[in-house]
Structure formats: C-alpha cells, structure tokens
Amino acid sequence: MNSKRISVALAIATAIAVPAEGLRQWAYKCPAGVVTVCYGHTGSVTTGKKYTVEECKALLDADMRKAVEEVEQCQPGLPAEVLAAFADATFNIGSRVACDTRQSTAARKLKAGDYRGACEELPKWNKARVGGVLVALPGLTKRRAREREICLQGV
C-alpha cells in the first residue's frame, strides 16, 4: 500500500511539474537567477550543452523521486494527492514548505494532520527573489493554485 501511494504521488507530482516547467534542452536562468535545464533541473547543469529528451526525463524522474522521498521522510503517511502537491512544491522551491515546522505554517499544519489547512497555505509560496526583491511570479502563482487544487482532492 505504501509503495503504491508513493508511486501515485510521484506520477501526480510529475504531471504537475511538466506543464509548469516546460521543456528547455539548453541551460537558462530562471526568473530567480538559478541556472536551470530540462524540466526545472537545477543541480549540476552544464551550460552550452544540449540535453536530450531522454536525459531530461531521467533528470526529472530522479529530481521528483528525491522530492517525494524528502516529503515522505519529514511528513510520513500523507494521502497521495497531498504528498504529490507538496512534493512538487518541494521540487520547485525546496523542502522548507513541507518540512520546516519553524518557518512554514504549511509544514506545521501537515504535522498536525490539518491537511486542508496545509493545502490552503500553498498559494502563499508564490514568490521568488528577483533583483534582491521578493515578488509574486505569475508562473508560481498558477503552479501553487494547481498544487492546492490537487492537494485538496486528498483531504
């Protein structure tokens, strides 16, 4: 049952990420200035290299699996849709949103079992530093809304 829940969450989270990220086979800087490639991969990116679609899919699979595992480790047993939504957010912005109960109301609500409340916190995580200033980004706003929608399906 647990492996099925994890597999379902992985598939859902990937389905959120693919349209939100889009495929870019050459490295670029995202609005926050982070060097990125493929479907939002930010670790060990080789600038000037054209990544194949297969390489991009492999990077996304590994990155999303890591995000699901991070959320599962800090918030074990979440419903698949809740896990998927927070795994995609973790993939996109880091595990603080789901795991850091000192800095994230969403993480505190997850820990307390208030899944609906945690889902409702996702839209607040739509900002990035651009030129040193924290600003809401339209792409993040749309992505957090989609995560919230899917998250609420699990409560």
Tell me which residues are annotated as active site: 21, 30
What are the beta bridge partners of residue 37?
41
How far separated are the first and last CA of the chain, in Å rounded? Answer: 18
Of 22, 107, 63, 13, nearest in space to 30 by CA: 22
> What is the four-CA torsion angle of 62, 16, 74, 128, rounded to 10 degrees?
100
The whole-angstrom separation of Cα 22 and Cα 9 is: 20
Backbone angles phi, psi at 124, to 5 degrees: -70, -15
Joined together, the tokens standing for residue 24 give 């870019």
Cα angle vertex 94, ends 72, 113, to 5°? Answer: 40
